[in-house]
A = this chain, B = another copy of it.
């Protein structure tokens, strides 16, 4: 099996719009993150995260199940879910992107593991292309009898994505052949006039099929994806929002139901709109993204308000301690958002991607790459009674339902592909990360490299390495939504540049190799409040600095827990560089105090005056009881001890 990397004539990442696609922007043809913040996180992913996969998949039974299906092992099916296979596929996808990024040769051991596990997958596949170990082993192969919960097509989707990644990143065809066989099987079974008119209760295969179409050129896969997207919402699975079956996307006014299902479906819909130019579907995607962001998104980018059913709540129902914010939903949000960014050219999609990556997503994996959060709450109370299990507020080695860890691995391993794009006018930098990005402007390569200590520093130095010399083109830089001020200099001189409504700062000029651009973003720590309809955080503020949301942890604020802490929002914030802390962070400090509650009654609801008419409760100044509150980036929480945490801090 060869891992020689083909010359990247076309974008090599997870999303590759077709030649005729209705996109505003196209992913760059090559990208490499070479240093800085994300490089560090990706190195942990590459050195610790991904390599532990085979061992964990073995111990959790996933690989054993493949052998059972292949009749090369005996025993009982292991694990509790019909989607155990998808963990394997997501890991294969992560490994494939890693092999692509490292050039292949550097990861001989990893490549061998990929080959070994690919062979297990191929062996488990049935002659007609079907593959799901749960149904093969425990259900006598009775297929598609439980589309609502069976996850057979969901697993197929992850297999297809892994196969596309492997082919795209390494040129390897073994997994792609397995995926094509499964896709052909699905195409032979599912359709209005075929054996089964239905779809999977957990979307995922839709976006995967579009990418398989892009990879193979086989139009049937695109059509099948279109069929699946359109059949949602007509009650075929019983009409539940949970399964994305209450309404067609075209009729939905807001996101609903199971958050990951909704977002994977939207990613597929955006892919379809990309390839077909379907303006109705595009409008639905834009409308649902906007409603989601305005009414159902936590400040961390986290999505999903309910533990029960893992679903979205009502608009502005955004709890803190019971925020669900599944790590997979953060991954899915990035998938959906990136497709929308390319499709529309609107920078606000990448604003949310940035916020999600640095906060709601990155919190899902520990700094050491070995422990995970499935659920990402915004508050853990003093004395929190943790029930353990997958939904624990404590980092866990692996989950019974282990969907999140390999999802984190695959996004980190392919992250360089979400950073830059190009169009006929030039190159766009969506995210700030040290690296090298190769776009294409009217058939000519444009190469820009970036150097930055972002998100600690707001200074980003960009160098034009190559590009058309005979005519002007535009370098576009995203000015983040959170940024109160910015400055740009080109070749050492302050430059005036327009900022588009969606946030693109555009510099058009005749660039020469070696031209340097310096962007400075105002990184002063700041207070943020919420739309007053977010009842859960009324009278509170959050701390942010750059793209990072901060939180208080009990660990840094000892002496009585966090439940009684109040921030003095009128006093200035400060920051401190702490290279020794949590892998190197900048902390934010604020003035505050500890509230004391009158302890003179057994019932906690009383006349307002009774609750405030004590000196301690009226305390607002820096006198007795004044505290310095120390906040750390949210993505670093729960890496030192299990304890209390809060993002939103009361102001009185």
Contact = CB atoms under 8 A, between A and B. Distances in A.
Q: Which of A290, A531, A532, A617 is the most central at the interface, judged by chain B CB atoms within 10 Å of its CB? A: A532
Interface string A558-582: 0000011000010000000000000
Given A379-B535, A608-B527, A481 B603 contact: yes
A643 interface: no
A611 B541 CA distance: 12
Contact of A322 (B319, B526, B527, B611): B319
Contacts of A536: 319, 535-536
Contacts of A65: none
A317 interface: yes
A528 B322 contact: no
B531 A604 contact: yes
A186 interface: no
A299 to B, nearest CB: 5
B320 A322 contact: no
A241 interface: yes
A534 B320 CA distance: 12
Interface stretch (A227-235, A306-314, A402-410): A306-314
A529 interface: yes
A315 to B, nearest CB: 6
A351 B533 CA distance: 33
A407 B614 CA distance: 43
Given A321-B314, A529-B611, A602 B540 contact: no
A1 interface: no
A602 B294 contact: yes
Contacts of A532: 564, 595, 597, 611, 617, 650
A9 interface: no
B316 A319 contact: no
Nearest to A324: B308
Contacts of A400: none
A593 to B, nearest CB: 12
A469 interface: no
A295 B603 contact: no
Interface in A448-484: 481, 484
Interface residues of A, number: 67
Given A385-B256, A539-B538, A650-B538, A530 B315 contact: no
Interface string A510-551: 000000000000000011111111111011111000000000
Contacts of A315: 381-383, 563
A542 B293 CA distance: 30
Interface SS of A by simple majority: loop
A320 B563 contact: no
Given A316-B381, A536-B536, A538-B539, A528 B606 contact: yes
Nearest to A542: B605
A527 B607 contact: yes
A166 to B, nearest CB: 37
Given A314-B321, A527-B607, A608-B529, A348 B602 contact: yes
A306 B533 CA distance: 22
Contacts of A527: 607-608
A459 B306 CA distance: 45
Nearest to A538: B539
Given A538-B538, A538-B539, A602-B348, A528 B320 contact: no
A642 B385 CA distance: 35
Nearest to A563: B533
A607 B314 contact: no
A148 to B, nearest CB: 15
Contacts of A569: 608
A143 interface: no
A542 B317 CA distance: 19
A531 B322 contact: no
A640 interface: no
A603 B294 contact: yes
A241 B602 contact: no
Contacts of A608: 527-529, 541, 569
Contact of A314 (B383, B391, B539): B383
Given A317-B321, A319-B322, 20 more contacts: A240-B387, A241-B387, A242-B387, A293-B603, A294-B603, A294-B604, A299-B605, A307-B307, A314-B321, A314-B383, A316-B604, A317-B322, A321-B535, A526-B607, A527-B608, A529-B607, A530-B604, A533-B597, A535-B650, A538-B539
26 contacts: A240-B387, A293-B602, A293-B603, A306-B307, A308-B391, A309-B387, A315-B382, A316-B381, A317-B321, A317-B381, A319-B536, A527-B607, A528-B608, A529-B607, A529-B611, A530-B611, A531-B597, A531-B605, A533-B563, A533-B564, A533-B597, A535-B648, A535-B650, A536-B536, A538-B539, A569-B608
